[in-house]
Amino acid sequence: MNTTMNAPATQAGTLDIRGLRLTLPGTARPVLDGVDLTVAPGETVSLVGESGSGKTLTSRSALCLLPPGAVTEGTVRVNGDDVLTADADRLRALRTGTVAMVFQDPRAALNPLRRIGDFLTEGVRATRTAARARATARATELLGAVGLDDTVLRKYPGQVSGGMLQRVMIAAALMGEPALLLADEPTTALDVTTQAEVVALLARLRERFATALLFVTHDLDLAAAISDRVYVMYAGRIAEHGPAKQLFEHPRHPYTAALLASTPRLERTGGRLSAIEGRPPA
Distance of CA 59 to the CA centre of its chain: 7
Residues 6+ apart with CB under 8 A from 107: 157, 162, 165
What domains sit in the chain, N to C, each tagged with a CATH number? 30-109+178-261 (3.40.50.300)
Residue 153: the pLDDT is: 92
Residue 47 contacts residue 57 (beta carbons within 8 Å): no
Run of H or E including 241: strand 237-243
Residue 208: the pLDDT is: 77
Report the alpha-carbon distance of residue 254 to residue 244 in Å, rounded: 17
Residue 188: the pLDDT is: 72
What is the sign of the dihedral through the CA atoms of 238, 166, 143 and 171?
A: negative
Residue 129: the pLDDT is: 58
Residue 49 contacts residue 30 (beta carbons within 8 Å): no
CA-based nearest residue to 36, from 13, 12, 9, 54: 54
CA-based nearest residue to 228, from 253, 248, 209, 208: 248
Tens place of pLDDT per residue across the chain (282 aa) = 333 333 333 345 689 999 999 999 888 789 999 999 999 988 999 999 888 889 999 999 999 999 889 999 999 999 889 999 999 989 988 888 789 888 877 888 888 999 999 888 887 766 665 677 888 888 898 888 788 888 999 999 999 988 888 888 888 888 877 889 999 988 776 677 777 777 887 787 777 777 899 999 888 888 888 899 999 999 899 999 999 999 989 999 988 888 888 777 666 666 666 666 666 666
Rounded to two decimals, what is the model's pTM? 0.83
